[in-house]
Structures are given as structure tokens and as C-alpha cells.
Amino acid sequence: MNNILVTGASTGIGYATTLRLAKHATVYAGVRSEADYVNLGALGGNIVPVYLEVTDGSSIARAKATIDERTGGKLDAIVNNAGIVVAAPLEVVEPAEFQRQFAVNVMGPLLVTQAFLPRIRASKGRIVTIGSIGGKMALPYIGPYAASKFAIEALMDALRLEMVQFGVRVILIEPGAIKTPLWQRTQTASAGSIERIPPDMLPLYAEPIRKMRVLSSKIEAGAIEPDRVAEVIERALAAKNPRARYLVGTDARVQLAIGRLPEFVRDRLIGSMLAGIK
């Protein structure tokens, strides 16, 4: 593969993937800020930063024009990585925040894929999207995030079947806990959700959210490095017959097993885990 687009390339999985893929391909690294553009540009080599806000059609169109100009309209793969976390009890989550969660995590990959799909179809290339084990099993108080990842599962299933006739491979990466700024943002979002709870409802949710934050911190302590995910992405792009899904991380496999339990067993297990947190 010669030309690859990676969205959300400034940190975490996107950054690690950009560095890894740039060893053997030109990577168009999608960023939103000038600082990130400059930082990635300074790396040189096969890394070409492009301004790309995945929720903005005009931004996507400009990025497409830039990439077309440099490549002659040739693109071999997309890595849909950009994402955010909205954490809050569903009873009190702000509609605008819920919409923002879906705008970035669901509409973003769709809009980027739509824009570049003619190029991918022409090259019989690949579309890789970063999902989450959270798209298999939802945990309390991160319902908006889990809902967006469940949606990505369905979106990529449908796209995979639609692309078979064109020889385009559609691949979903499902990581568990990764050492990325997303975890810090999750903790911040969780703390912020407590602040936004109406005072009369605070006694209902403050303690459960605190326990969920403690559990998240324990999970974070065992998180794997982003390059582990980048390595899987690289392998999926290179494989002659890539799998439709790649689980990444031991905790992802554990959570998948828990998610397959009968609901009453799973609910009791998660409930007991939270109840045991002091």
C-alpha cells in the first residue's frame, strides 16, 4: 500500500499507527489543530499532516482535495480512528452531548468513508475502523460511548457486505483498555458528569459514578500501549485475507466472554464488582 489516510492522528492509537505505517507508506495524518499539524509535519519522512475535522463536510472535502492533488487521486486505505468519550448517566446526559458523541464516533467515520470510497474502490483497498470492546458490552455511565461503538459495529457489518462486490475489505478493530489520552478524557468526562447532575438527583448517582471511576482506574492500570493496536492495524492492512474483526488485549477477550453470558448473570457479576469497590 502506498497511500493511507489516518484520522485522529495527533495522539494515542492514531499517532502510533501513523508512525508505524509511515515506515512503508505515505500516511496522510488527519489533525484538527495547528499545533498538531506542525508537530506531525516536523517528523518528516512519509508523514503528511492534513487538517481534517471528521464532523465537518467542508473540512473533509478540503482534505480530499489535498490528498488527491498529492496522489493523483489514489488512496489505498482509510483508518477511521478519531473518537471521543461522553460519560454520564443516561437519565441526565445532555442531548447536545449525546449528539456530539454520535457525530464524532459514528457520523465521522461514515462521512470520511463516503468521501474517499471512490478512491478505495478504484484501488480495491481497505477500510479499517477503530471500534471497541465497548461495542460488544455496555457498562454503566458510559452509555453514550458504548451506544456509538455498538452503532459502529452495525455500520461496518453493513459496509463490509456492501463492499464485497468491489473487492474492498472492511475491517473492525476492537481494543480493550489502551494507554491513551482517551482514558484521561473519560475520567474528566465522568467527573464533569457529576457536576452536571441536578442537585436533587446527586444522591442517586454520585456514589455509583465514583465507584465506576475507581473501576476505570484499575482497568487503566492494566492497559496496553497504543502501538499494540497499531501493530494489529498494520497486520490487517497487509494480510491477504484479513479477518472482519480483530480483538486487541486480554481484557477485551475477558469482556467479550462476560458479554456473552446471560443478561441476569452478567448484570449480577458487574453489580458485584461495583459493590465490592470501597
DSSP-derived secondary structure for 59-86: HHHHHHHHHHHHHTS---EEEE------
Q: Which of 56, 49, 18, 44 is nearest to 31 (CA)?
A: 49
Spacing of C-alpha 159 from chain mean position:
17
Packed helices 108-123 and 143-163: angle between N→C axes, nearest 10 degrees: 20
Sign of CA dihedral 6, 11, 16, 18: positive
Residue of 15, 28, 141, 145 marked active site? 145
Say how many C-beta atoms besides its own lie within 10 A of residue 168's C-beta.
20
Give catalytic status of residue 28 as yes or no. Answer: no
Q: DSSP secondary-structure letter at 222?
A: T
Cβ atoms of residues 135 and 143 within 8 Å? no
57-60: long-range contacts (C-beta < 8 A, 24 or more apart)? 57/111, 60/111, 60/112, 60/115
Please give the positions annotated as active site.
145
